[in-house]
Amino acid sequence: MVNPKLTINNVKELLDYARANPGQIKLRLGGPGLRRRPSSGELMKTIAKVELTHVPYRGTGPAMSDLVAGHIQMMFELLPASLQQISSGNVRALANAGANARQRR
């Protein structure tokens, strides 16, 4: 999901923006306990060959507050933790990476 101040409405637009503006998208990075495997942001950086700036956070609450306020531009998070902010228009969901993600089109 992204801050709605960005004029980005889908993943393709996000990647195009990231390529045109290397390092300008600040992305939430979870705490040290989450680092057992590559983060979604690291996977996106590697696969899509984009430069994103990771900002560490200790939890979803502080990161979501900063996303809503525009201090960071993007974060990956589970739907239950972000549904209220998505529904209220405080953040814009771009994709769902769940088991049924292909069915949501």
List the end-to-end C-alpha distance of the chain, in Å, as a whole number. 16
The pTM of this model reads 0.82
pLDDT digits (tens, 9 = 90+) for 9-66: 999 999 999 999 999 999 987 655 445 556 788 888 889 999 999 999 888 999 999 9
Beta bridge partners of 29: 56
CA 67 to chain centre: 9
Distances (CA, A) of 19 to 13, 69, 74, 85: 10, 24, 15, 27
pLDDT digits (tens, 9 = 90+) for 50-65: 999 999 988 899 999 9
* CA-based nearest residue to 60, from 40, 44, 80: 80
- 86: tokens are 């998505």
